[in-house]
Chains A and B, each alone.
Chain A
Amino acid sequence: MHRRPYILPFVFGMLALIGLAIAPYLVFVYAGIEKEMGLAQKIFYYHVSSAFAMYIGFSLCFVFSIRYLWKRDKRCDLWAACSAEVGLLFCSLVLLTGPIWAKPVWGAWWVWDAQLTLTLVLWLIFVAYFMLRTHIEDPVQNARFRAVLGIVGFLNVPFIHYATKLWRTHHPEVVRGEEIGLPPDMKTAFFFCVLTFFMLFFALLFKRVSVEKARDELESLKAEMRA
C-alpha cells in the first residue's frame, strides 16, 4: 500500500488557521458596530458563515449519496458520510450561535422563525442519518440506507423551507432582521469570514476522509494478517 497524500488537509487547515486569526480583527475592529443591534450583531459573521458551510456539507452528502447508489463505489459512501458529519457540525454551530444572537435582538432565545426551524429540522434529519449508521451491522446495507436517507433528506429541504415560511406568516409577531445592503466594511468582514469557514470546512472534510481511509486500510491489513 502506498502512502496517502496528506497535503490537502494541511493546506486547507493552514489557510483556515490564518483566516481564523485575522477574522476577529476584521469582525471586531475593522467592521463598524451595527446601529440597532449593537455588539450582538457581531455573531452574524460566524453564524451565517456556518450556515453556508452547513449547506455545502449537506449538498455534498446528497451528490455523493446519488453517486454511491449509482456506481456502488465505497469511496463515494465514505465521502458522503464525512460531508454529512462535517455538515452536521456546522449545523450545530448555526443552532448554537442563533440563540446568542436572538436573545438580545428578538428578546427570546428561540423564535419559530422559518430559517431557524429549517435548520433545526435539518439537524434532526442528519442526526437520524448517524443513528442509522450506528445501528446497522451489515456495512453494505448501512451505506445503502444512509444514501437513501441522505437523498430523501436533501430533497425535503425546499418543502421544509416553504412550509416553515408559510407557517411563519400565520404568526406575524415574529420579526426577522433584514440583512440586505450591508455597508462596505461589514461586507468585507463578512465575505472574509465566509471564505475562512469554507477553508475550515474543507480542511475538516479532507482530514475526516483521510482518517476514514486510514481506518479502512488498517482493517484490510488486519484481515490480510489473519489470513
Chain B
Amino acid sequence: MPLFFIQSLAILQKDLKIEWRTRERLGAMAFFAFLVVLIFNFAFEPASPIVKTAAPGIFWIATVFAGLLGLSRSFAIEKQNDCLMGLRLTPADPGAIFLGKMLGNAIAMLILAALILPVLVVFLNVEIAPALPRLILPILFGTLGFAAVGTLFSAMSLNTRLREALLPMLTLPMLVPALLAAIESFRAVLAGHPLSKIADWLVLGGAFVALFVAACLLLFECVLED
C-alpha cells in the first residue's frame, strides 16, 4: 500500500480510538439528531401525508445538523495540548491528514445515519425496509460529500474568532448541490423508483464527492500551515 494511504489510515485509526475511548462525540450527535427529528414532528400535523413527503428532508437535515456538531469537534480535539502542531510535525502528507480526518468524520456520519433511519420509521411511520439496499448509495455519497466539505471548513473555522459558529455558515451554502442530490434521490427511492431513475442525481452526488475530495487534498496544505 502506498505510504499516503498508510498515513491516512493511521490518522483514521487514531481518531476512531479517541472516539471509542471517550464516546462523547457520537453520543452527542445521535442525541441531537434524535431531537431534530422529534422537533420536526411538531412542525407538521401528526400522521398527515406531508410528514411522509418531508421525511427525506427531515432525515438529511437531522444528519447534517448533527454532523456539523460532530465536525466542529473533529479539529477542536487537536487544539488541546497542541496536537495539531504534533500532526503538522509528522512526516505525513497534509493530504493524508485530511483524508484520515475526513474518513473518520464520514464513518461517524454513516453510523449516525444508521441510527436515524429507525427513528424515522418509528416516529414518522415511513416504510424504509424495502428500499434499504437502494438507499445505500445516496446516503454514502451524501455523507462523503458532507465529510469532505465539512472537514476542510472545520479546520478553517478553528482559527477564527467565532470558532464553531462559523462552520455552518461556511459549509451549508457549499453543500447545496450535494444536499439536493441526497434529498431528491432519497425521496425517489422511498417512492419505489429503481436506481436507474435517479442516475442523474447519483452522478451528481458522486462527481461532487470526487471533485471536492480532490480539491481538499490539494488545498489542505494551505489550511494547515502556520
Contact = CB atoms under 8 A, between A and B. Distances in A.
Interface of A: 69, 121, 124-125, 128, 131-132, 135-138, 141, 144-145, 147-149, 151-153, 155-156, 159-160, 162-164, 166-167, 170
A162 B211 CA distance: 14
Nearest to B170: A128
A217 to B, nearest CB: 27
Given A128-B169, A163-B177, A148 B156 contact: yes
The 8 A-B pairs with the shortest beta carbon distances in the complex, nearest first, are: A124-B173, A163-B177, A159-B177, A135-B160, A163-B180, A135-B161, A125-B173, A148-B219
Chain B at the A interface: SS class: helix
B166 A159 contact: no
B176 A160 contact: yes
A119 to B, nearest CB: 12
B225 to A, nearest CB: 8
A137 B201 contact: no
A77 to B, nearest CB: 12
Contacts, number: 83
Contacts of A152: 149, 152, 174, 212, 215-216, 219
B184 interface: yes
A136 B161 contact: yes
24 contacts: A121-B173, A124-B173, A125-B174, A128-B170, A128-B173, A131-B162, A132-B170, A135-B162, A135-B166, A136-B159, A138-B159, A144-B223, A145-B156, A151-B219, A155-B211, A155-B212, A159-B177, A159-B178, A159-B204, A159-B207, A159-B208, A160-B177, A163-B181, A166-B204
A135 B164 CA distance: 12
Contact of A166 (B162, B200, B208): B200
Nearest to A122: B173
Interface in B169-204: 169-170, 172-174, 176-178, 180-181, 184, 200-201, 204
A177 to B, nearest CB: 23
Chain A at the B interface: SS class: helix
Interface of B: 149, 152, 156, 159-162, 166, 169-170, 172-174, 176-178, 180-181, 184, 200-201, 204, 207-208, 211-212, 215-216, 219, 222-223, 225
Which of B156, B177, B184, B223 has most A Cβ within 10 Å?
A: B177
Nearest to B208: A159
Contacts of B215: 151-152, 155
B166 A164 contact: no
B169 A163 contact: no
Contacts of B204: 159, 162-163, 166
Given A125-B174, A148-B152, A167 B222 contact: no
A148 B222 contact: yes
A199 to B, nearest CB: 30
A39 B65 CA distance: 45
Given A132-B166, A138-B159, A155-B215, A170 B223 contact: no
A156 B177 contact: yes
B206 to A, nearest CB: 11
Nearest to A137: B161
A175 to B, nearest CB: 21
B223 A148 contact: yes
